[in-house]
Every structure is written in structure tokens, then in C-alpha cells.
Amino acid sequence: MTLPELSIRRHVLAVMISAVLVLFGYIGYQEVGTDRIPNIDFPVVNVVVAQPGADPGIIDASITSEVERAVNTVPGIDYIQSSSSPGTSIVTVTFDLDVDIDVAFNEVQAKINEIRDQLPDDAEDPIVQKVETDAQAIMWLSVQGDRTLQQLGTYARNVVRPQIENINGVGEIQIGGGLERNIRIEVEPDRLAAYGLTVTDLVNAIEMEHFQLPGGFLVAERTERLLKLDMEYNQPEALEELIVASQDGALIRLSDVAEIVDGLEDPRALARFNGEPTVGLGVVKVSGTNTVAIIDEVKERLETEIRPQLPPGMEVNISSDQSVFILEMIDTLYQTIGLGILFAAFVLWLFLKNLRSTLIVTLSIPVALAAVIATIFAFGYTLNSLTMLAMLLLIGVVVDDAIVVLENIFRHREEGIEDPVEGAIVGSNEVFFAIIATTLSLISIFLPVLFMEGIIGRFFESFAVVVAMGVLASSIVALTLTPMLCSRFLSVPKEHGKVYNVLERAFRGMESGYRWLLAKVLRFRWITLGIVVVVTVAAGSLLGQLGGEFAPEEDEGQFLVSIQTPLGSSIDYTDEKLQAVEEVLGNQEGIYSYFTAIGLGDQGQVNDGISFVRLDPRDERELSQQEITAQVQGELAKISGVQAFASSVPLIGGQRGEPLQFNISGPELDEVADLARELEGRLRSMDEIDTLDLELDLDQPELVLNVDRERARTLGITTFDVTRAANVLAGGIDVARYNDDPGDGERYDVRLKAREGALQTPEDLSKLYLRSDNGDMIRLDTLADFEPAQGPSVIGRYELQYAAQFYSNPSVPLAEAVDLVESEAEEIMPLGYSLNLVGEAEEFERTAAAILFVFVVAILLVYMVLGSQFNSFLQPFIILAALPLAMIGGIVGLWLFGHTLNIYSMIGLVLLVGLVTKNGILLVDLTNQYRVKQGMTVDEALAAACPIRLRPILMTSLTLILAMLPAAIGAGAGAETQGPLAVAIISGMISSMLLTLAVIPAAYSLLENAAERVQERRAQRHA
């Protein structure tokens, strides 16, 4: 007893099988999350080591290289990047996608612990994090109001941040623009010298007079008391009375040589929201966590906990939110799926001409989709662009099997089987193995995905699992629920209405026309195949004109602007240019809001800025994101003295959104710099490279201190005394800690530095004084001088070699731009130096190789399935002959509609391998049955079977085509990524549907007649 027959005879079982799928689907829908794309966040572990006051060269040699060598032995690393900036080393270790982030974190932590003693003594303890430093925040909040920046910053740090950073999945809260409170001791160098005091005297006095020590307990026989040894001053006014020295019985207090200010840290960062000063809070997620879920939780806390407790006059606004586009895209896909179901139902009714039959087949759609949602939840996936596109595809695929079963049952009932149960058993059993074969052929094309790695593997994995489980569910429904419903509810009326008769005459006329065409095809088989080969070769030439990219640019309703002023620019100069950028953004049509910042992140420089721009809702603006970005870039190019680049939010993690990113790396920093500048010059002369930004910060203006060590020693002054004077007064040091009493529970730095404006030129530094061993005051310029020079601001490394990073928005497809860059680099690159693609460019190259692998293995697996189904080594080639027809159709469709070869269109082309085999299986399977059961010749069986299978082939193909049509012509959020996949499938199905009906009969007739002749000759020889 077959599965269909079992389901017909035990109808409750058939219903319960489908009910279980629906139940699990409902449960999964309540819990499944939503996101933009499958999780492609590479596990990232970051190591940050600070050495206050050290220049980038020292950081690079003494810290960065040591950390890199230590972590390089951890298994599963994809690549290592690092940067050495003044006072800070950051090493970012990116692991393969399949590495557990917690395991990677522990292993990196262990390696860092091993080398802690090898780092400089004055280096702070390394900080190991599960988040990429300066990674782009998924959401920005702006704290504004009628308060000072100090008050806003204190509230943001001490009240708002703790309420957000403990949300599950939040890795870091970046602070944008908020300067921390400092108690500033602003020294007057002239007054200090007038009292005969030096910087060392001042530092020693503060350390000796402002401190805390543990006192322990004073224990008596029956009591004990805590001994509190707190010698700190707890009000800024009291700190003025700190005694620095005593001269001739007179006390010199801190207020005599400095001004005490309750202020902020050195201004090296700022932020504004819509042009107004603000303190920004950026929510950075841990890699692999769900964007929408985190943002939803932040919004929930914002409404229920944060805003109700805000002081009067203060407000917290959302200035950037990546979930807006994601939710819009998901809503658009829901609408597209709904339209797809309606279009599919219309095609079913058009061919079946019976509402009851249409409902029986359409019922398979919600059951299969419920099974798919249960699968998404069970595998830990999300409802994203890939999984929902898979569901859209399944609308057209899942009804195929039900159509084949119902159409065959209906035909047998019309041809004379009166008993509905017998008709359902005979009809379903006849196509049982064909359905099994089509299901296995579709599933088999996704097996190679198990061997794919990287982002393309993640993309394909979720899509493949969803489609495979949906196809499996649809075959179960088609072999259980559909036959059972047909045996009980399918009506075959003897008389039909006017609409039925009109449609039936049209279909019969179409079948007559196809019989005429089939006769010509079987008569002129070689000519038919020859014409198809010529068309295939001609259309195949379009492949090179498609262009290639990792993913199409989408209208996300947001973009970034990266800003960089020349090295050596002050924060005031950068702010001046940032205001010019803000003016451009404020005057641009279609922009809703913009959050701008300077010095963002741990490594933020005062010459670097960034702007997060939100656009008006899609239905309230006339221009697309790409048009707005192009207009903004044109205006930014007019601003002198700054490099500003508008780009999309990156699909792959990082802070820059340009699609073309690469670097030049090698063992010598100077040679890397020379090669990078030469390559930059070559690329800037090309029209194909629209914008180009070289991140090579090696020209920072410096003043190098040269000390006459011998003269200093004769005066009893150490080199440390000389450098300490310049370090403290020019750069400033955190000399102590401070807290109010009563206070807010926070401790703040006490910053010792010369009064602002006191030291501005090398001559000012030369006027500092030191004390000799006999008590004389010695001017600094008698012992040392400052030599102007240039040095690195940030030293970047990639894979343990020095690197210069490039960012570009090419005006040509990414693949063409990559070829240009590689060609130019090859001409200048010496041995030992290399060009490395990163981001989307790197993933696109990986994708091309992975897709070729999938194609080859998928075809081999489909051949094996078909060979097993038909018990023939020859007949699978007949069905696979239709594959080039589908590929060519897909390529022509992409070319006509202006799409590129990208990860979405490639998925569509791969899918065609399985989809087009379904039609061929239906033709070959029935032809074989007629030859075996009725003893027909090859051509007789083809002439009888092909017209019978015409309607199921047209019905299943048109159902899929119309189901995908809303995605192909859609204009909502995510249309740019849905379109290539839908167009590739629709055009491939159209070409294969039309040509398969001619090519497969011609190929079948040639091969099978030739095989029979070979068998006859063998038989004659043996006879």
C-alpha cells in the first residue's frame, strides 16, 4: 500500500499529518525573530591596550606586534587587523563564521595573559572584548536639553547608559560627543617659575597631599573601629588650598600657581543632532545577535524606564535606527507573499476551471509555509530577506506536486473512473514516483551548500534549508492530504458552464497546436536541437555584460558620511568643516535627520568625523537613497579643506560602507606608503573609480624633543625631568582621582595641564623651567630644543604586516572595479607586498568560486537522482538538456532588466537547476510508462504523453512565475534584492517552459531510438 492509498483509506491520519505541521508552524511564528539578512556577523574579539603618552611607533613596536604574535596561534582565525595610535593599541581578531565566540574569547584571553609581563611596565592592563572597536552602532540615541554638555554627559553616562548596556546582546555603548567631568588644575607656567617651582614639585605635592590609604581596623578587647585614612579634598574650592611648598615660612598653595576648574576632559570629541549640541549613545551589538530584538528592547526601556524619569527640559531622541528598514522590508515581503498566493490561486482556477479543485490545491500552501516557519525556528534562523524570499518561491513550488496529483486524478475521473476513491488511488499512484523524483532533485541541489564556507555559505544555508524543508513538506501534503481531499470532495461534473467551456476550448486548441509542433519537432530533431544551440550560444554572450557585485545597493532610508580633515587639524578646524557638511545635509531634499560626531570611539581622532543620516519615509520623498547620496556627494566635493564621502550602511560589519575596500600590505611601512600613493594616483585618473579615500595617516606634524643629555646631567637634571615638564604642561596627565562629598557615587580624574592658550608654539615650550641640583632655575631651551618633523598618526596592520587601506565607490559594477584595481596593483607590486580585498569585494570573489562549485555538484547530484529514478544512465541527460535553456533565460532576463550577477541572482540561477528538471521528469516519466505498459514505440509514446503533460507543465510553471511576479516588479523596501532573484527565476522558467516542450522530446527521441538500434544490433550479433 502506497502513502497516497494509505491516506485515502485513513483520512484522519492525512488530516493529522498536516495539522501537526500547522501546529508547529504556529508555535514557531510566535517566537521567531526578524532581521535584515541571515547572521553573517563574523565572531570578533578585540584587544585594547593603552599606554598613555606613547607615540604610534612605540605602541606598534612594543605592544601591537607582541599582541598580534600571541593571538595569531589561536585556531579558526580568518584575519587579524590592528592599529596603533597615540596611547592606544587595538588588535581586532576576526574568526571564521563557524567559530564559537565564547571559545574564541577565552582562547584570546589566555594568550594575552601569557604575554602580560612582556608589555611595557607603564602600559595599562589589556582589555579583551567580544566586539569590534569602532564597529558601527545599530542605533544612536541623542540626549539633549536645556543643560550644559557636562550635565548632559554625566546624565547620559551615569543614568541612561547603565539602563541600556545590560540588555542581552548589547556589546558596547559608544559615547559620542559627551566629555567626561574633570577637575582641571590649569597651571600658569610663569607663576610656577616665579615661585621657583617645577612640574615635578607640583606632581609630588598633589600625590603627597591628595590621597587615600587603607587604614584597617583599630581593635579593642570587645570593639573594633574602621580607621579611615582619606586625605582627599572633596570640593574644587578646597583643592585650591592644597599646599605645594613652603618658602621662608610662607606657604605656597595650589591656587597661587594654578586655577582649579570644575570642567571637562580635553576637548577631542563632539556631537550634534540636527545641528544642535548633543551627547550620543551608540548601541553596538555582539556579533551574531539579533538587530531588531535588541532595538525593540531599547525602545521598550526608553518608553517605560528612561523617558519617564528624565529631568524637566531634557529629552532622549532616536537619531539612527537600523531596524526601520528591516521591518519595512519584512512588511513588504509579507505583502509580496500575499499577492503571490492570490496570483497562484488565479492560475490554478484558470487551468482547473473549478473552485473546489482550486481550494484543494491552494490548501497545500499554508500547510507548507507553516512547516517552513517551524523549520526556521527550529534551526535558529530569522525571518529575513533570504528566508522570506524562499517562502515566496515555495508558493509556486509547493503547489506543483498537488497540481500534478489533482490533475492526474481529475483526468482519470473524466476518462471514466466513476468511483472517486478508485480514481484518487489510481491517479495519485501513477505520479507517486515522479513526485518523489522531483522532490529529491530539488533537495539535492542544496546538498553542496553543506560544504560552503563564509558569508555565501550562510546566505545559501538558510535559503537552502527553508526551500528543502518546504519542498519536502509540499510532497508530503501532495501525497497525503491532496489525494484524500480529492477522494472526498473533488467533483467532476458532466455538464459545464459557459466560462468552463470557453477555457476548455482554448486549452484544447493549445493542445492541438502543440501536437502539430511536436510532430514537426520529432520529424526535424537535429534542426530543433541545432536552433536551440545557436540561441543558447548567442544569449550566453550576454553573461559578460551583466557585471558583478556582492549585493545590490538598497534604498534603506539611511546612509553615512565619512569626514576627514588634513592631519594636524585642530578640533575647531574639523568642527568648522563638519558644520559645512551639516549645512549640505540640512539643505538636501529628502533628509529627515542627521547625527554628526568628531572623535568617535576609542581611537577617534580630532580630524575624523562621521554623520549618520536618516531619510524621510519612502512614501514621503520623491528621490531614492542613491539619488540623494549622489547629490550630497556632489555638494560635499565643493567643500575645500576636507575629504567627505557619502556611502551606504555596510552589509558586512565595519564602519565604512563603500563596496570596494582593499589594502596594500607588506613588511616595510615606508614602502607600503610609497606603493599606496602610487596606486592612488593611478586609480584617481580612472573614471570608473568614482570616489577614492586612502587611509594612510603618516604625515602628522610633530615636534621632536632633542635633549643635551651631557649638559643636563652636569646640572643634575635627568632626561626624565625634561620630558616630564613638557609632557605634563603640554599634553597633561591625570594626576589623581576625585569625588564629591556628598557625591553621586562616581570618581573623576584630576587633570594637571598648563592653562589653555599658555603653550601654543615651540617657543612657549622652550620657556619652561627646571631646577638644577644647586637650586637654580634653568630654562628648557638651554638643555633641549624642539625639531619640527612628520610622523604617523595611526599605524595600520593587516595579517601582521603594515597596511594602507583604500575605500571606493566605483561607478562600474564591483567585479569590473576589482579587475581594474588588481590589474594596476600587479604592475607596481614588488615581491613580498600584496593587494588584499576586504569586505564586500573579498566576499564577491569567494562567492564566484563557491557558486561554480555548487553548480557542478548540484548537477551531478541531480543526475544521480534521475538515474536512480529512471534506472538509466542515459535518460538523465535528456532532462538535463533543458538546463542550459533555463540558464540562458535567466541571464537574458537579468540583462534586459538591468540587474547584475550578485548573491541574490546567483541563488536564483542555482535554483533553476532543480526547478527546470520538474517539467522534464513529468514528460519522461509518462513517456516511459506508455512504452512499458502499452508497448508503444518511442515516438508514439512521446506523441501521446507530451500533450497530456502540457497542462500540468504550463500550470506549474505559470504558478511559479506569477507567484514571483510581485517580487520582480516590487517597489517597496528590499525590492533591489528581491528583484534579481525573482527575475532570474521567472525568465529562466519562461525559457525552459517554452523550449523544454520541444527540446526534451527531440533529445528523448534521438537518444532512445539510438539506444534501441544499438540493442537490436547486439541482439542480432548474439543471435
Alpha-carbon gap, residue 840 to 851, rounded angstroms: 16
Least-confidence region, from 621-625, 758-762, 820-824: 758-762
Burial 715-724 (b: 16+ CB within 10 A, else e): bebeeebbeb
Query: In this model, does residue 25 exceed pLDDT 70?
Result: yes
For the cut 80, the answer to whether the pLDDT of residue 986 exceeds it is yes
**Beta-sheet pairing, 748-754 with 181-187:** parallel
DSSP secondary structure string, 320-384? EETHHHHHHHHHHHHHHHHHHHHHHHHHHHHHH--HHHHHHHHTHHHHHHHHHHHHHHHTT--B-
Q: In sequence order, what are the beta bridge partners of 263?
A: 182
Give the start-end residues of each E strand in 583-648: 591-598, 608-615, 643-647
Q: What is the mean pLDDT of residues 213-227?
A: 86
Query: Which pLDDT belongs to residue 41?
Result: 66
Residues with Cβ within 8 Å of residue 465, at least 6 apart in sequence: 375, 379, 381, 446
pLDDT over 80 (residue 1023): no
**655-701 pLDDT, tens digit each:** 567 788 899 999 998 899 999 999 988 998 888 888 888 888 777 78
| CB contact at 8 A, 786 and 660 | no
Q: Where are the alpha helices (DSSP H) in 490-570?
A: 498-523, 525-540
What kind of fold does domain 42-131 have according to CATH? Alpha-Beta Plaits (3.30.70)
Order of strands across the sheet that contains 558-564: 276-277, 270-273, 591-598, 608-615, 558-564, 643-647
Please tell me the predicted confidence (pLDDT) of residue 37: 77
d(C-alpha 142, C-alpha 279), whole Å: 6
Q: Which distant-in-sequence residues (6+ apart) come within 8 Å of 808 by Cβ? A: 658, 659, 660, 661, 683, 689, 690, 691, 692, 693, 817
> What does the DSSP 8-state code read for residue 38?
S
Taking only the tens place, the pLDDT of each residue in 267-298 is 788 888 888 888 889 888 876 678 888 899 99
Q: What is the mean pLDDT of residues 177-192?
A: 85
Query: Whose CA is closest to 694, among 796, 604, 808?
Result: 808
How many C-beta atoms lie closer than 10 Å to residue 489's C-beta? 12
Paired sense of beta strands 777-779 and 769-771, if any: antiparallel
Mean pLDDT of 7-35: 87
CA angle 336, 340, 341 (to 5 degrees): 120
Residue 612 in contact with residue 560, Cβ under 8 Å?
yes
If we measure between CA atoms, which residue out of 259, 263, 247 comes closest to residue 201? 247
Residue type, 813: P
* C-alpha of 287 from chain center: 10
Closest Cα to residue 692, out of 612, 808, 531?
A: 808
pLDDT of residue 288: 67
End-to-end CA, the chain: 42
Quickly list H helices, 551-598.
Answer: 571-587
Q: How far apart (Å, rounded) are the C-alpha atoms in residues 80 and 111?
A: 15
Cα–Cα distance, 175 to 600 (Å, whole number): 7
Please state, in angstroms and as integers, the Cα–Cα distance from residue 101 to each residue in 111, 498, 577, 836, following that order: 15, 66, 40, 25
Residue 108: its pLDDT value, please? 92
1-29+353-493 and 181-266+701-791 share one fold: no
Residue 591's nearest CA partner among 553, 564, 631 is 631
Q: How far is CA 640 from CA 574, 576, 577, 578, 989, in A?
A: 12, 11, 8, 12, 53
Name the DSSP class of 901: B
State yes or no: pLDDT of 566 exceeds 60.
yes
236 preceded by a cis bond (ω within 30 of 0): no
Topology of domain 496-541+872-1022, per CATH? Multidrug efflux transporter AcrB transmembrane fold (1.20.1640)
Residue 802: its pLDDT value, please? 92
Cα distance between residue 949 and residue 57, in whole Å: 75
Model confidence at 111, pLDDT cuts 50, 70, 90, reads very high
pLDDT band with cut points at 50, 70 and 90 for residue 404: confident
Percent over 90 (pLDDT), the chain: 7
120-141: average pLDDT: 78
* pLDDT surpassing 60 at residue 144: yes
pLDDT digits (tens, 9 = 90+) for 37-91: 777 667 888 898 888 777 888 888 899 999 999 999 899 888 898 888 888 888 9
Segments making up each domain of the chain, as ranges: 1-29+353-493, 42-131, 181-266+701-791, 496-541+872-1022
pLDDT of 665: 92
Q: Is the pLDDT of residue 150 over 60?
A: yes
pTM: 0.75
In whole angstroms, what is the distance from residue 14 CA to residue 405 CA?
15
Looking at per-residue pLDDT, the higher value among 350 and 160 belongs to: 160
DSSP result, 48-102: EEE-TT--HHHHIIIIIHHHHHHHTTSTTEEEEEEEEETTEEEEEEEEPTTS-HH
Angstrom distances, CA of residue 92 to CA of 77, 505, 565, 626, 977: 11, 70, 25, 31, 31
Euclidean distance between CA atoms 349 and 21, whole angstroms: 26
Which of residues 1014 and 594 earns the better pLDDT score? 594
Average pLDDT over residues 838-861: 79
The SS3 assignment for 692 reads: strand
Cell of 1019: 541482439
Half-sphere exposure of 701 (CA within 13 A, CB side): 10
Question: How much of the chain is helix, strand and coil, in % rounded to 5?
Answer: 55, 20, 25
| The pLDDT of residue 655 | 54
Judging by beta carbons within 10 Å of its beta carbon (0-12, 13-18, 19+), is residue 891 exposed, middle or buried?
A: buried
Given a cut of 70, whether residue 652 has pLDDT beyond it is: no
Kindly state the average pLDDT of the residues 577-605: 84
Q: Cβ neighbours of residue 1016 under 8 Å, at least 6 residues apart?
A: none
Checking if the pLDDT of 603 tops 60, the result is no
Q: How far apart are CA 936 and CA 939, in angstroms?
A: 8
DSSP 708-769: -HHHHHHTT--HHHHHHHHIIIII-EEEEEE--SS--S--EEEEEEEPTTS--SHHHHHT-E
Q: Which amino acid is at 192?
A: L
Cell numbers linked to 794: 595611526
Which CATH code of 3.40.50.720, 3.40.50.150, 3.30.2090.10, 3.40.47.10 fits the domain covering 181-266+701-791? Answer: 3.30.2090.10
Return all residues near 229 (Cβ < 8 A) that are at least 6 apart: 212, 213, 214, 215
- Using DSSP's 3-state secondary structure scheme, residue 554 falls into coil
Stretch (H or E) spanning 703: strand 700-707
942: its cell numbers = 512521446
CB-based contacts of 211: which residues, under 8 Å, 6+ apart?
231, 232, 736
Is the CB of residue 60 less than 8 Å from the CB of residue 46?
no
List, in sequence order, every beta strand (DSSP E) within 123-169: 127-129, 139-145
Q: Is the pLDDT of residue 567 over 70?
A: yes
- The greatest distance separating any two alpha carbons of the chain, rounded to the nearest whole angstrom, comes to 135
Residue 265's identity, in one-letter code, is E
Q: 1-29+353-493 in CATH: which number?
A: 1.20.1640.10
Residue of 271, 867, 288 whose CA lies nearest to 599: 271
Average pLDDT, the chain: 83
User: How confident is the model at residue 301, as a pLDDT?
Assistant: 92
Q: Under DSSP, is residue 196 helix (H, G, I), strand (E, B) or coil?
A: coil
Band (pLDDT 50/70/90 cuts) for residue 653 is low
Beta bridge partners of 145: 314
The answer to whether 725 and 780 are in contact (CB under 8 A) is yes
Q: Compute the chain's Rg from CA coordinates.
A: 37
Q: Quote the CA–CA distance of 282 and 301 in Å, as a whole number.
A: 15
Q: Residue type for 422, please?
A: E
Grid coordinates belonging to 736? 589623581
Percent of the chain with pLDDT over 70: 97
Cβ-proximal residues to 512 (8 Å cutoff; 6+ apart), any chain: none
